[in-house]
A and B are shown apart, each in its own frame.
Chain A
Amino acid sequence: MNQENSNSAGTVELRGVSYIYGRGTPFEKKAIDNINLTFEPGCITGLIGHTGSGKSTLVQLLNGLLKPDEGRILVDGVDIWDEPKKQNKLRFKVGLVFQYPEYQLFEETVRRDIAYGPSNMKLSGEEIERRVVESAKFCGLDEELLDKSPFELSGGQRRRAAIAGVIAMEPRVLILDEPTAGLDPMGREDILGGMRSYQRARNSTVIIVSHSMEDMARYSDRIVVMKNGRVEASGGRTEVFSRSDMLIGAGLDVPQITRLWEILKGRGIELPDDVFTVERACEVLLDLLRTDLQTVKGR
Chain B
Amino acid sequence: MQLYDIPVRTMNQPYIQMKNVCFSYNTEDGRPTNQVLKNITLTINRGEFVAVLGHNGSGKSTLAKLLNLILLPDSGSIIIDGKEVTSPDLSDDEVYETRRHVGMVFQNPDNQLVATVVEEDVAFGPENLGIPPAEIRARVDKALELVGMSEYRRHSPSRLSGGQKQRIAIAGIIAMLPDCIVFDEPTAMLDPSGRAEVMNIIRMLNRDRGITVLHITHNMNEAITADRVIVINDGELCMDDTPRRVFSQVAKLHSIGLDVPQVTELLYELGLCGVELPVDVLTYEECADLLIRKIEEKK
Contact = CB atoms under 8 A, between A and B. Distances in A.
Interface stretch (B96-104, B125-133, B136-144, B291-299): B291-299
A155 B218 CA distance: 15
Contacts of B294: 289
Contacts of A299: 251, 254-255
User: Which of B56, B273, B284, B287 has most chain A Cβ within 10 Å?
Assistant: B273
A288 B257 CA distance: 31
A294 B273 CA distance: 6
B192 interface: yes
B188 A182 contact: yes
B266 interface: yes
Q: How large is the interface on B (under 10, 10 to 19, 20 to 34, 35 or more residues)?
A: 35 or more
User: Which of B161, B189, B194, B270 has most chain A Cβ within 10 Å?
Assistant: B270
Q: How large is the interface on A (under 10, 10 to 19, 20 to 34, 35 or more residues)?
A: 35 or more
Contacts of A269: 292, 295
Contacts of B161: 51
Given A256-B262, A256-B263, A267-B288, A51 B295 contact: no
Contact of B266 (A214, A251, A267, A278): A278
A86 interface: no
B274 interface: yes
Nearest to A298: B272
B108 to A, nearest CB: 10
B66 to A, nearest CB: 21
Interface in B64-120: none
Interface string A152-173: 0011100000000000000000
Query: Main SS of the interface on chain B?
Result: helix
A290 B30 CA distance: 64
B191 A286 contact: no
Contact of A50 (B57, B193, B254, B275): B193
Contacts of A289: 275, 294-295, 298
B261 interface: yes
B179 interface: no
Nearest to A50: B193
A258 to B, nearest CB: 9
Interface stretch (A6-14, A184-192, A193-201): A184-192
B298 A211 contact: no
Contacts of A292: 274
Contact of A51 (B193, B270, B284, B291): B193
Nearest to A255: B262
B269 interface: yes
Given A255-B262, A260-B262, A211 B218 contact: no
Given A51-B192, A156-B56, A185-B259, 8 more contacts: A182-B188, A184-B55, A187-B55, A211-B192, A263-B285, A286-B275, A289-B275, A296-B273
Interface of B: 55-57, 161, 188-189, 191-194, 218, 251, 254-255, 257-259, 261-263, 265-266, 269-270, 272-275, 284-285, 287-288, 291-292, 294-295, 298
